[in-house]
Amino acid sequence: MEKANVSTLPRLPLSTIWMLSFGFLGVQMAFSLQSSNMGRIFQTLGADPTRLGFFFILPPLAGMVVQPLVGKYSDKTWMPKLGRRLPYLLIGAIVAIIVMALLPNSGSFGFSTVMGLWFGAITILFMDLSSNVAMQPFKMMVGDMVNEEQKGYAYSVQSFLSNTGSVLASIFPFLLTAFGVANVAPDGEVPQSVIISFYVGAVILVICSLITVLKVKEYTPEEYALYHGISADAATENVGMFKLLARAPKIFWTITIVQFFCWMGFQYLWTYGTGAVAANVWHVADPASSAYQAAGNWFGILSAVQAIAAVLWSLVLTKVPNDKHKPAYALSLLFGAIGFASIFFVHTQGALIVSFILIGIAWAGMMAYPFILLTNGLEAAGEGAHMGTFLGLFNGSICLPQIVASVASFAIFPLLGSSFPMMLLLSGIFLVLGALAVSLIKEAKIN
């Protein structure tokens, strides 16, 4: 495709940049409740720890299918009262709310252990489908509406808000337990502290999503074409996703390599994190025990520590100049690698806080830099007309490594002595490889 001359997007008020991503707080809270409690929920329902990876295959598989479709169809959508991306946000949020009420109750409907696990797995699938539909519009709107100069700030704001949602999601079970809500339940049922946390998350998701829908006005198709230097032919070009993938700029693929190692590492955190904390600090493995559930609550607090660190590091990243993005990205990942590896050696609650601060730094970098670098690269390649589709396809760089990690865990977990802490040591190695791979990225400049 011939490159277009890219016009300069207007400078946005800071309030508009914040409103573009405000709903992400609610969506990320839903996602974090899911990711931080999945291992705990399925082990409570009776899942075999050596087969735990199976339940973590479905969510990224759903994302690989849904996000490219959301991108492709939203590129061509225009509703005068809602816009291009916001209709998909609303649909995803509505479905997510329903599923958030069902998931933590998987063990409360009188199902057998097998049926409870299958109900939970299917509910997780729909949870991730809806979260993906709701999440993708926020990343796309920043690419649509924010100029190169402000894009680093905008994605760092998005990282800040998403991690604020993660903080809220992570601390709710702990706080509810402190206020006297039951943190243990009969065999096969999820504790009330987790169930109520999901209900609160659903309410916050509604409020935050509505704020973005009511406060943001997307550019009309004519404005969008003008600001992105899109010709009439390019605006109406109908090209399949596989053809677009074949002409993706080189930066798309080099960032994908970095993403592969990073998301492999974080997938094992979500799968084995609670078990690692229970094994190293509480020295228990029985999910029905009060000690294991206490470890689950502490893992929630550590996830909140991770999110708070990511919030603070996101604010640091807003100050990083454009020509320093790559070094800041690599440094963030190296900090995370140290955090993951240290979990293997730590046997006290307090020391784990340091580990998760370092992991939070890596998470902040992962939430900002891939999208800053990619959207600038797509603009420079003249692909602004297909921004949503490319961002949807890029989600494969998040979902595929999670699937690979989950499938590989069937062999790796037994090979490493069925040790939860060893899986997180492996995560540290993956993030070192990710940091080294940042050197492969060649940043593109918008003309």
Cα dihedral across residues 415, 420, 425, 428: positive or negative: positive
- Does 202 have pLDDT greater than 50? yes
**Secondary structure (3-state) at 89:** helix
- The confidence band for 445, taking pLDDT boundaries of 50, 70 and 90, is low
Task: Tell me, yes or no, whether 143 lies in a domain.
Answer: yes
Residues 272, 200, single domain; the answer is no
- Does 183 have pLDDT greater than 50? yes
Q: Which residues pair with 79 in a beta bridge?
A: 83
Task: Tell me, yes or no, whether 188 lies in a domain.
Answer: yes
Q: What are φ and ψ of residue 107, in 5° steps?
A: -95, 10
Task: Tell me, yes or no, whether 133 lies in a domain.
Answer: yes
- The confidence band for 261, taking pLDDT boundaries of 50, 70 and 90, is very high
Task: Tell me, yes or no, whether 235 lies in a domain.
Answer: no
Alpha-carbon distance 229 to 110, whole Å?
58
Residues 223, 255, single domain; the answer is no
Task: Tell me, yes or no, whether 203 lies in a domain.
Answer: yes
Question: For residue 350, what are its two tokens?
Answer: 């307090």
Residues 201, 260, single domain; the answer is no
Task: Tell me, yes or no, whether 88 lies in a domain.
Answer: yes
Task: Tell me, yes or no, whether 5 lies in a domain.
Answer: no
One-letter identity of residue 222: E
Residues 140, 254, single domain; the answer is no
Residues 314, 219, single domain; the answer is no
Alpha-carbon distance 285 to 292, whole Å?
7
When mean pLDDT is compared across 120-134, 229-243, 250-264, 298-312, the lowest value belongs to: 229-243
- How many of the other CB atoms lie within 10 Å of CB of 365? 29
Long-range contacts of 243-251 (CB under 8 A, 24+ apart): 244/383, 244/386, 244/389, 244/390, 244/393, 245/393, 247/1, 248/390, 248/393, 249/377, 249/378, 249/380, 249/381, 249/383, 249/444, 250/442, 251/373, 251/374, 251/377, 251/441, 251/442, 251/443, 251/444
Do the beta carbons of residue 317 and residue 156 sit within 8 Å?
Answer: yes
Task: Tell me, yes or no, whether 4 lies in a domain.
Answer: no
How many Cα atoms occupy the beta-carbon half-sphere of 405 within 13 Å?
Answer: 30
Q: Which of 171, 195, 228 is the last residue of a domain?
A: 228
Q: Which residues pair with 361 in a beta bridge?
A: none
Question: For residue 145, what are its two tokens?
Answer: 């509406």
Q: Which of 182, 204, 228 is the last residue of a domain?
A: 228
Residues 414, 441, single domain; the answer is yes
**Secondary structure (3-state) at 85:** coil
Question: Whole-prediction pTM value?
Answer: 0.73
Residues 409, 319, single domain; the answer is yes
Q: Which of 205, 228, 251 is the last residue of a domain?
A: 228
Alpha-carbon distance 398 to 175, whole Å?
31
Instruction: Give the model's pLDDT for residue 108.
Output: 65
Instruction: Give the model's pLDDT for residue 55.
Output: 67
- Segments forming the whole domain that contains residue 215: 10-228
Residues 262, 213, single domain; the answer is no
Q: What is the CATH number of the domain that holds 428?
A: 1.20.1250.20
Q: What is the distance of C-alpha 181 from the center of its chain?
A: 29
Residues 199, 73, single domain; the answer is yes
Residues 266, 198, single domain; the answer is no
Structural domain count, the chain: 2
Residues 163, 307, single domain; the answer is no
Provide, rounded to the nearest whole percent, the portion of the chain with pLDDT above 70. Answer: 89
Residues 75, 202, single domain; the answer is yes
